[in-house]
Amino acid sequence: MEKINSIYRYHQHTSYERRKMAGHRLDWQNQPSVCKEYNGIDPIVLPDNIPSMSLDIFKILKKGDPGQGLPHMDLEQLSVILGLTYTFTARASQGDDFFYYRSAASAGALYPTEIYIVTGGVKGLDDGLYHFGIHGHCLTRLRTGDLSGFVAGHLIPPSGALPVITFLFTSIFFRSSWKYRERAYRYHLLDTGHVIENLSIAMTALGIPFRISYDFADRNINRLAGLDDQKEVSLALAYIPGLKSSENSCMPMISLLPDDIKNAGIVSDREIEYPAILEIHEAGKPAVPKGNNMNDISDHAGLSPETWAALPDRLPADKTVTYPDCLFKRRSRRNFVTAPMDRKIFFSLLEALCMDDTPDPHTRSGYSHSFYTGFITANIDGFDQGIYILDREQRRFGLVKKGDFIERMAHACLDQMWLKSANIHFLFMSDLEQLEEKRGPRGYRYAMMGAGCMGERIYLLAASLGLGCCGIGAFYDQEAADIIGLTNASRLLYLVAVGRTSPHPGY
């Protein structure tokens, strides 16, 4: 069988078709563990100190990045950042055990994303490489010494400043492929985007400068973290730039970590490898310089509104749940009811999606031209039903075609008919051929993680506004593209439904 070495080929290979869906039984005896542990290494328990900030998430998004380097950080600040990025938010009984809700959304609640940190000058913590354990809000040290020069030198392009802290986001393949098989790589990327957005919002709320990079020397960063790259891989880095230049920093030699550290990535007694996942990830290892302009990608999608309308200035909602409370209230809620949505709430959502959309390659929005955003509306006060395109950079929207498309899209989403009662389906799409031409196969990571970032943002906005929200990565791909009116090369990547909900608990 020919290798899966292009974006379009992988996406088509993993597409769902209504009459070609094979049955798939879950192997419950080999359900993967959702928490990574290192036997024989005592963890460092972090202070439990998430502050009550009572900030409006809309104002946080509007603040933007402080932009300056940070001279130092202490352990308590680091603990706050990690707690606001990835934490347990509630628990529910599940048979004889408990299920723990997390602050970031995850397909099938399988949570493939892990976080490692590299420290270079954190007060109260020795320099080194650590794994963050969400289950105990703790750090496990895997390497000692200042490794910030190694990280700075393997970013593409290299960082001019030594990071004070680097956050490394990885994904464990089998956690998601246990259920979603070859399609799981889509969820590895979306779910990682969810966690990255939480980190970005936390950093902005705390006024801490940060940079996001999806471009780095994969093999060297995987080696640094002690990963078996057939099972777990690095997908993104976020770092806090310090004030020291990396120009004269030494590049430390990195030895292989012991097998017991590498084997911590084994999450089930019987794991299955899916070649398509390994092949598309391998194809995406070379990073393409960002010289090519991505601004015109939506011109090839087939979505061309006759007219555009500017977004109105934000009309604040009457009542919002403040940050970080909305983070702890975030859930995937499917109990939508057919009820009108206030127009000012609707425009608040659109406005928040447009905030921080800059071409700066050092922020997550620097990758936003890898995908484009649309939405389908139903039952919004004073607003026509139809399919729209949202120009995030110009803060405007345009009607592509008028009509009732919400129910049709619910059918395309594997006939999940609760979706037809939502007020909005947000759509994240890309022209896969243009994406690959300009960014190579690695561009798939940009588009999917970028869509995941926006999806998590919508989750938090919905929680803030008292709305239901649920992300959907499972749909009949061609049917969805036909409903929207996409070109042959363009596909829906992610759908996020938002709407009024019943007073009964969601899912």
Give me the architecture of the 36-283 domain, per CATH: 3-Layer(aba) Sandwich (3.40)
Paired tokens of 26 = 């879950």
Q: Do domains 36-283 and 297-499 have the same CATH topology?
A: yes
First and final CA of the chain: distance in angstroms? 40
User: Which pLDDT does position 293 carry in this prediction?
Assistant: 55
| Residue 417 neighbours by CB distance under 10 Å | 11
> Which one, of 458, 483, 453, lies nearest residue 470 by Cα?
458
Distance CA 108, CA 399 (A): 33
User: Which pLDDT does position 63 carry in this prediction?
Assistant: 82
Cα-Cα-Cα-Cα torsion 429, 433, 439, 445, nearest 10 degrees, comes to 40
User: Which pLDDT does position 122 carry in this prediction?
Assistant: 94
Paired tokens of 278 = 């390994």
Q: What is the CA radius of gyration of the chain?
A: 22
User: Which pLDDT does position 316 carry in this prediction?
Assistant: 61
Distance of CA 31 to the CA centre of its chain: 23
Distance CA 494, CA 187 (A): 10
User: Which pLDDT does position 437 carry in this prediction?
Assistant: 93
Distance CA 244, CA 70 (A): 10
| Residue 72 neighbours by CB distance under 10 Å | 11
CA atoms within 13 A on the CB side of 220: 18
User: Which pLDDT does position 302 carry in this prediction?
Assistant: 75
> Which one, of 437, 460, 461, 446, lies nearest residue 493 by Cα?
446
Over residues 165-175, the pLDDT tens digits come to 999 999 999 99
Paired tokens of 239 = 């770092």
User: Which pLDDT does position 507 carry in this prediction?
Assistant: 38
User: Can you name the CATH fold of 297-499?
Assistant: NADH Oxidase (3.40.109)
Over residues 399-439, the pLDDT tens digits come to 999 999 999 999 999 999 999 999 999 999 999 999 999 99
Distance CA 386, CA 403 (A): 5
Give residue limits of the domains in the chain. Answer: 36-283, 297-499
What is the 3-class SS of 483-495, one letter each residue? HHCCCCCEEEEEE
Look up the pTM and report it: 0.95
pLDDT < 70 positions in the chain: 65-69, 71, 247-250, 289-300, 314-318, 357-366, 504-507
Over residues 209-242, the pLDDT tens digits come to 999 999 999 999 999 999 999 999 999 999 999 8
